[in-house]
Amino acid sequence: MTSTLPITPDVMTIPRKPIEGVLPNLIGLQRASLSNALAEIGTPQKQIKMRVAQIWSWIYVKGARSFDEMTNLSKSFRETLIENFSITRPEIITRQISKDGTRKYLLRVTGGHELEAVYIPETDRGTLCISSQIGCTLTCTFCHTGTQKLVRNLTPAEIVGQILIARDDLEEWDKPTGDKRLVSNIVLMGMGEPLYNTDNVRDAMLIAMDNEGIALSRRRITLSTSGVVPEIIRAGAEIGCMLAISFHATTDDVRDVLVPINRKHKIAELLDTCRNYPRLSNSERITFEYVMLKNVNDTDADAHRLVNLISGIPAKINLIPFNPWPGSGYERSDWKRIEAFGDIVNKAGYASPVRRPRGEDIMAACGQLKSETQRARKSAKKMAQEVKGQ
Ligand code: SAH
Ligand code: SF4
């Protein structure tokens, strides 16, 4: 099979220069850039550190949506800020709430592009699933997002903005942090491949982890990647968050079709990189995501191969029942099959939680996120047949 992969990391990165007529957004700037921005508007040098701390706290602790709210800044300084900057979140187009409490936000960003973020409440935590790109260049055959053209990378402001919007909606500002948090975990499992937008994802996550702001621990942030090997190494060094790998197949032949980036970075190379991921231990395990596709990747032999392949890596296997979407051409494995597969993985000593589909009634489950842009591509059915034929 010839590779037709459009692998073009970072080419779509939006330059961070201001768009004409639009005031620069203070959301998404690192502290150093915020300092520079304040210096440029004439803030006295000796005040800058304090002003950065104040503005940071207004934006990321109190959730301020306008400079007027920043009442510990002098009126004249606030006016200067208003003339020069904005604090802009993505615009909410719709918010849907599922029967199970899952909330899906359809958001619009500069250029009129749309993206989705999903909040999943659980008894002991609340997980916000955020997007890193609009669309995706990769074409994993079972993924709805993969049917969308990559429109562009999201900026740090747009990535952090998804967290701010969820906290606005859940009225979770200026509350004590700790175990009671509503947005207690972030997963980069929404639209897009985060490691084709590593710089912006890193900048956004550094803001989310900042102790004087949103203050999420790096252990509560999980980045899911289809396997962009060189960028996994960088993510480990520069973000240090938890890693999830969209594994989904136990032979290169099958993975080449399901997760086509495998044609570039084979299973052996991917697993070598995983073995070297920083701080791996029993308390910091890699999650291997495995979508259960009927008659494609769900046999006992697959389960045995899987545990052999990852042997030695502190890991858990997250079994994801396939979430169907119109025209996918795949079917979800039967529950009995999923259980049998999970048993084998479990007996080999790996936790194998089955990811309960959440928000299905609002198309908020894994791989169902997409906006309106469509891409013509080889039908998933045809590709599924290719897998079976191998
Ligand atoms: N691009 C990244 C992160 C987004 S996808 C990645 O691929 O890892 C988040 C997870 O949902 C991935 O493991 C992905 O393979 C899985 N997924 C995609 N489509 C799915 C579907 N239709 N049903 C179940 N899981 C799906
Ligand atoms: Fe892109 Fe991830 Fe979907 Fe693959 S599974 S098409 S990498 S979003």
- Give alpha helix (H) positions in the chain: 31-40, 45-60, 75-84, 156-169, 198-209, 229-238, 252-258, 267-275, 300-309, 335-347, 380-389
Question: Is 220 contained in some domain?
Answer: yes
Q: How many domains does the chain have?
A: 2
pLDDT at residue 309 above 50?
Answer: yes
The mean pLDDT of the chain is: 89
How high is the pLDDT of residue 367? 61
pLDDT at residue 303 above 50?
Answer: yes
pLDDT at residue 344 above 60?
Answer: yes
Euclidean distance between CA atoms 49 and 32, whole angstroms? 10
Q: Are residues 308 and 339 in the same domain?
A: yes
Euclidean distance between CA atoms 207 and 157, whole angstroms? 10
Here the CATH number for the domain that contains residue 300 is 3.20.20.70
Q: Select from 43, 58, 84 the last residue of a domain.
A: 84
**Predicted confidence (pLDDT) per residue in 158-207, tens digit:** 999 999 999 999 999 987 666 589 999 999 999 999 999 999 999 999 99
pLDDT at residue 150 above 90?
Answer: no
Least-confidence region, from 136-145, 242-251, 321-330, 375-384: 375-384
Question: Is 73 contained in some domain?
Answer: yes
> Could you tell me which residue, 14 or 121, shows the higher pLDDT?
121
How high is the pLDDT of residue 9? 36
| pLDDT band, very low/low/confident/very high, at 389 (cuts 50, 70, 90) | very low
Question: From ligand 2's centre to the CA of 233, what distance in Å?
Answer: 19
Ligand 1, CB within 6 Å, residue ranges: 140, 142-144, 189, 193, 224-226, 246, 289, 291, 320, 322-323, 366-367
pLDDT at residue 97 above 80?
Answer: yes
How high is the pLDDT of residue 145? 77
How high is the pLDDT of residue 326? 86
From the alpha carbon of 224, which atom of ligand 1 is closest?
8
Task: Kindly state the average pLDDT of the residues 70-83.
Answer: 97
Give 326's DSSP letter: T
pLDDT at residue 59 above 60?
Answer: yes
State the DSSP H helix or E strand holding residue 106, giving kind and residue range, or none if neither. Answer: strand 103-109
Task: Kindly state the average pLDDT of the residues 140-160.
Answer: 89
Task: Kindly state the average pLDDT of the residues 82-102.
Answer: 96
Q: Are residues 247 and 293 in the same domain?
A: yes
Domain housing 108: 91-377
Q: Are residues 274 and 342 in the same domain?
A: yes
Q: Are residues 346 and 271 in the same domain?
A: yes
pLDDT at residue 17 above 60?
Answer: no
Question: Is 283 contained in some domain?
Answer: yes
Question: Is 21 contained in some domain?
Answer: no
From the alpha carbon of 224, which atom of ligand 2 is closest?
2
| pLDDT band, very low/low/confident/very high, at 281 (cuts 50, 70, 90) | very high
Question: Is 343 contained in some domain?
Answer: yes
How high is the pLDDT of residue 361? 75
Ligand 2, CB within 6 Å, residue ranges: 136, 138-140, 143, 145-146, 192-193, 226, 246
Q: Are residues 261 and 372 in the same domain?
A: yes
CA 246 to chain centre: 12
How high is the pLDDT of residue 14? 40
Task: Kindly state the average pLDDT of the residues 258-283.
Answer: 97
| Burial class (CB within 10 angstroms; exposed 0-12, middle 13-18, buried 19+) of 277 | buried
How high is the pLDDT of residue 90? 97
Q: Are residues 260 and 367 in the same domain?
A: yes
Least-confidence region, from 30-39, 137-146, 315-324, 375-384: 375-384
Q: What would the two tokens of residue 297 be?
A: 């990747």
